[in-house]
Structure formats: structure tokens, C-alpha cells
Amino acid sequence: MKRTFTIFFAALAAIAMFAGLVHLALVAAHVSEPATTTVYGLTPRRLWATTVAALALLGVLIGGHALRRSAGSIDTDVGRSRAILALVLGLIAAVNGGLNLAVATGGPGTGNGVVGGAAALVLGLIAMTLSGLTLIRPRRSRTLKKGGLAA
């Protein structure tokens, strides 16, 4: 029961932090004011922003999995290649999300995809951070894991 509450509050804190970072990205790009006229439906910029946000989310998931797996000794280069993949996905998403925010002419509701672009920017930076932590984490040697002494 105690663990459930801990996980719930950690997830709630992560969601709040993500929403705050997306709002901060919108304010920094000067597109935080909502539109006077709302555009409904899928526009090309919204599709672009949604696609790169999904790409960034995939990068976060792969980077988080690679970081979790790197805690132990990985004999193959699978963990390293996953971390590099997450780094590339995060970089692509962050650049495209920032570019989407740079070319946007209005705030949320204008059809420019600014919320998706800000989400892609934030998630892309998170994916790059997770993969960077994985790549710089020192690996334990095989002998230390088995209980022997390393030379």
C-alpha cells in the first residue's frame, strides 16, 4: 500500500513537472497566449508536432529502458545501441519541436501545433539526458558482479 502511494505521487509529480516545462517552453517561445479563434481538426503543423512528440516519447521510453538495463553488467552492445538510438530520436524531436515553435505565428488553438512542439522539445531533451546518462555510466566488470576481484 505504501509503495502504491509512492508510485502514484511520483507519477503525479512527473506529470506536473512535465506540464510546467511545456508551459515554460511556450512562454519562452512567446506563444503562450491562447487564440481568439480556435482551429479544430488536424492541420499539417499539428501533424508535424504530434509526430515528433510521439518520436520523442519513444526516445524517452527507449532511453529509460537502456538506463535501467545499464545498472547491471551488459556484455553485448545492445544497451549502448539503444542509448544511441534514444539520443538520436531525442535530438530529432528536440530540433523539430524547437523549429515548430520558432515558425509558429500564434498560441494554442491556432492550428500551429505549439503544444505538441513544446512537448516534443521537452521530451526530446529528457530522452537525450537519459541516453547520455546511460552512455557515461561506467560498466561493472563481469568478475565484480560474480563476486571475484578485478585485476
CA distance 110 to 34: 8
pLDDT score recorded for residue 48: 93
Q: Which sign does the torsion angle of CA 99, 59, 87, 17 carry?
A: positive
Q: Which amino acid is it at 73?
A: S
**Whose CA is closest to 86, among 143, 149, 130?**
130
Mean local confidence (pLDDT), 76-84 = 81
Whole-prediction pTM value?
0.79
Top pLDDT among 57 and 136 is at 57
Asked whether the beta carbons of 112 and 47 are under 8 A apart, the reply is no
Residue appearing with cell numbers 505549439? 114
**Whose CA is closest to 110, among 16, 5, 4, 39?**
39
pLDDT in tens, 12-49: 888 898 888 888 888 888 887 877 778 888 888 999 99
Q: Which amino acid is it at 51?
A: T
Q: Which sign does the torsion angle of CA 148, 82, 18, 7 carry?
A: negative
pLDDT band at 151 (very low <50, low <70, confident <90, very high): very low
CA distance 127 to 73: 22
pLDDT score recorded for residue 87: 95
pLDDT in tens, 83-122: 999 999 999 999 999 999 888 888 888 888 889 999 999 9
Mean local confidence (pLDDT), 125-141 = 82
Alpha carbons within 13 angstroms on the beta-carbon side of residue 70 total: 24
